Amino acid sequence: MTTEQRSAAGGRVPFRAPEPRVPDTVSDVLADACRAAVTGVNRAWDTWDRAGLVQTVRTGADGTPTYRIDEIVEDAIAATAAAHGVNLLSEELGLVDRGSGVTMVVDPLDGSANAAAGVPLSCFSGALYVDGELAEGLICWLEQGHCVAARAGEPVPYRTSGATALTGAAVSMLRPKRHAGGDSTDAWLRVAGRAERVRILSSSCLESLLVAEGSIDAFADPGSRTHRLVDLAAAALIVPAAGGAVVDVHGSPLELDTDLTRRWSGVVAATPQLAEELVEAIASSPR
Amino acid sequence: MTTEQRSAAGGRVPFRAPEPRVPDTVSDVLADACRAAVTGVNRAWDTWDRAGLVQTVRTGADGTPTYRIDEIVEDAIAATAAAHGVNLLSEELGLVDRGSGVTMVVDPLDGSANAAAGVPLSCFSGALYVDGELAEGLICWLEQGHCVAARAGEPVPYRTSGATALTGAAVSMLRPKRHAGGDSTDAWLRVAGRAERVRILSSSCLESLLVAEGSIDAFADPGSRTHRLVDLAAAALIVPAAGGAVVDVHGSPLELDTDLTRRWSGVVAATPQLAEELVEAIASSPR
């Protein structure tokens, strides 16, 4: 909806985020950042109506508009990163380099359009890189307080569905759209035509969490190069730890890069086989 | 996903439904039915893994397969209807006629594929008809305990967004699909091409709740005649009470009918004008 239409309603988001259930295994810095995200989003919902939450306050480091709700949540997280003395790479601020060996890569409020409107599907997503290597990931579904976490090389208590075939799978996707490189509608329809269930939840991190826990079989950007590192970094550790795979449709490696205008078309799947089949379905020439 | 793929994972749904926050204005019979739904879905999640939850146990009164999770939740609600001595019209059981002047029309577990898989987007939806007239409606988002309710002729504390135009709107839809009357893909793409935001949440009652509260502007079945009375009855009171409209793409009146194989293509919108524009966009000839 347009801001103009929205302000006619002028309503407040009717729920708050509970205390997150952060697993004991999570490092203090990531756990504190997650709790800061919860405090921040609740403060935003308490202070502003929907029209105020989606006001654009500036352009973020990723090149997209920063909503007021994004800024409030990110500010809370940035204070946590400062207190812990770690570098921060975040969607709106970009890189805050403190010369630490630890870099926290966060999407402060994934699904911020959901969170601003009152669609209860938004996430905090954070990853720790130590000396450039992905060491830890945490995704928290904010409206529920439900978290999944992983540390490099350690086992996790959740598993993907194990699905290996697109036919019959439950797949979430970004919406079909025109984009700089073309139009993802044909690819979207090819995937939807073979999947048993299709959803658009508008929160890539929540959709990755659902793949990790086996609730859906895959999530994909059907080629629109919409994902930034912050959307996929935590999932890139969490989903493989559960038996799945995170790849890019166009074959780009998902690597630590402080340029947040760099984009990927992420495919997050229950198994490497399913990820490969999705890449093939998305990348094949339009019929 | 296929049942075969799912059983390979064999996991349990990792959350439970909290006590629902039923408004004080709701009648005892609807409030008890809602609490029974919560008890039922938690029992189902405690007892069965995902593969067990989606096993088809029979064909329901609406002509679609009854999953085990549907049966468990509906059984809990049916006991409540019996205790209150009201007639029950429910998705799987059909009509249980006790000769009462009150008929409770329920979708015990809307979004049952979500609930069975662990996608936390499912609802209880109930409506009371007194002497054939729609008198009360309640929708509860089960995984959050959040409820909206309305009584005929009484004011409600929530409002739709007030959006009047499809261009720039936030619209949820059923997925595009082939169906008995044709294929809804062209209509789906026409709507998606004009909307600012597009979602597929796979729970019609949750999507109606979000329209009623102003979190999204509209929800539509783009012409696939998928909706049954149980999907729309509560919304047909709740959404107009908040300033919106519930109509059928093909112009059929939404009326109490005990034949659950009867279908509608529901359009639930923030205003009558937006509902009309959506009907026109969906019904126009394919380009």
What are the domain boundaries of chain B?
3-151, 170-283
Nearest CA in chain A to B178: A193
CB-based contact B210 A119, cutoff 8 Å = yes
User: How much is the average pLDDT of A185-214?
Assistant: 97
Contacts of A224 in chain B (CB under 8 A): none
A60 touches A91 (CB < 8 A): yes
Enter the DSSP assignment of B270.
Answer: S
CB-based contact B216 A119, cutoff 8 Å = yes
Measured between CB atoms, does A273 come within 8 Å of chain B? no
In degrees, rounded to 5, the angle at the alpha carbon of residue B200 between the alpha carbons of residues B286 and B242 is 95
What are the structure tokens assigned to A150, written together?
A: 């992983």
B192 touches B205 (CB < 8 A): no
Q: Which residues face A227 on adjacent strands?
A: A264
pLDDT at A39: 98
CB atoms within 10 A of CB B87: 18
Query: Which residue positions in chain B have pLDDT lower than 70?
Result: 1-10, 285-287
Interface test with A, best of B3, B4, B5, B139 (most A CBs within 10 A): B5
Local confidence band at A1 (pLDDT 50, 70, 90 cut-offs): very low
In sequence order, what are the residues at sequence separation of 6 or more whose Cβ sits closer than 8 angstroms to the Cβ of residue A280? Answer: none
pLDDT at B181: 82
SS3 A209: helix
- Specify the CATH number for A12-151; select among 2.60.40.10, 3.40.50.150, 3.30.540.10, 3.50.30.60: 3.30.540.10
Distance CA A198, CA A161 (A): 16
Tell me the one-letter amino acid at B238.
I
* Complex prediction ipTM: 0.94
Distance CA A184, CA A203 (A): 18
- Specify the CATH number for B3-151; select among 3.30.540.10, 3.40.50.1100, 3.40.630.10, 3.40.50.1820: 3.30.540.10
Q: How far is B38 from chain A (nearest CA, A)?
A: 16
Distance CA B259, CA B255 (A): 11
In sequence order, what are the residues at sequence separation of 6 or more whose Cβ sits closer than 8 angstroms to the Cβ of residue B254? Answer: B229, B232, B233, B236, B246, B247, B248, B264, B266
Q: pLDDT tens across A116-170, in order?
A: 999 999 999 999 999 999 999 999 999 999 999 999 999 999 999 999 999 999 9
CB-based contact B200 A199, cutoff 8 Å = yes
Q: pLDDT tens across A97-122, in order?
A: 999 999 999 999 999 999 999 999 99
Interface test with B, best of A2, A3, A5, A19 (most B CBs within 10 A): A5
In sequence order, what are the residues at sequence separation of 6 or more whose Cβ sits closer than 8 angstroms to the Cβ of residue B92? Answer: B58, B60, B61, B62, B66, B70, B71, B74, B108
- Using a pLDDT cut of 70, give the percent of chain A over it: 95
Enter the DSSP assignment of B264.
Answer: B
Q: pLDDT tens across A25-75, in order?
A: 999 999 999 999 999 999 999 999 999 999 999 999 989 899 999 999 999
Distance CA B37, CA B31 (A): 10
Top-tier CATH class for B170-283: alpha beta
Q: pLDDT tens across B125-182, in order?
A: 999 999 999 999 999 999 999 999 999 999 999 999 999 999 999 999 999 999 988 9
Interface test with A, best of B142, B215, B219 (most A CBs within 10 A): B215
B258 touches B284 (CB < 8 A): no
Residue given tokens 């049952």 in the structure block: B112
Give the A:B interface size as CB pairs under 8 Å.
148
Same fold, B3-151 and B170-283: no
